[in-house]
Amino acid sequence: MSGSRLPAVTLTLKQFLQRQRVLGLYRSLLRTIREVPDPADRSYLRSWARDEFQRNKTATNPPLTSCWLQVQITGGGGSGDGDPR
């Protein structure tokens, strides 16, 4: 059996809720990507989403990650390069 997907440390309520929002955003993004008609684009977008979430997996600046997450959820502007600034 593989390792647990749960973090090794106990999360605070705020961290837990943030984690749930991020996972929800990831799932929603993958569902949306599934609707892309072109297989090559779909593959590229799935890879991009996975890479971005992996790259930001250890982000620890709560105000910055909360702001980035809110922008992603609401579809707000940004540089489009995945940078949360």
The verdict on residue 83 lying in a domain is: no
Q: Is the pLDDT of residue 68 over 70?
A: no
Res 62: pLDDT: 62
44: containing domain: 13-74
Q: Mean pLDDT throughout 13-23?
A: 87
The verdict on residue 63 lying in a domain is: yes
Q: Mean pLDDT throughout 46-75?
A: 76
Q: In whole angstroms, how large is the CA radius of gyration of the chain?
A: 14
Percentage above 70 pLDDT, the chain:
65
Report which of 54, 57, 56, 53 is spatially closest to residue 25, judged by C-alpha positions. 53
For residue range 54-64, what is the model confidence (pLDDT) as tens digits? 888 887 776 66
H-only helix segments in the chain: 13-34, 39-55, 62-74
The verdict on residue 79 lying in a domain is: no
The verdict on residue 20 lying in a domain is: yes
The verdict on residue 48 lying in a domain is: yes
Domains held by the chain: number: 1
The verdict on residue 30 lying in a domain is: yes
The verdict on residue 81 lying in a domain is: no
The verdict on residue 84 lying in a domain is: no
